[in-house]
Structure 1
């Protein structure tokens, strides 16, 4: 429950627009969206790297 409240506070406090360059195109989006995207990418990479090998 506390993590959900912190996530909402983080999203509300980081509503400003940021420009992110993806090689050639420049994408403008809210900061909370960029942070959430990087969190998801980090989780996926962590799961792939931390997976036991056969």
Structure 2
């Protein structure tokens, strides 16, 4: 999750667009985008608390 937050905070990083857009249709064994979005949904309550600090 830390790496995902790092990518989303950088305005020109290419992974920011991949994380904000929809994921590709075909799931792969270990996709960083899918894992990051799953973790963000799973820990959404904790995630909201840390963003307001």
TM-score by length of 2: 0.34
- Higher relative CO (Cα under 8 Å, sequence separation at least 6) belongs to 2
**When you count helix as a share of all residues, which structure comes out higher?**
2
- Higher Rg: 1
More strand by share: 1
Normalising to structure 1: TM-score of the pair?
0.34
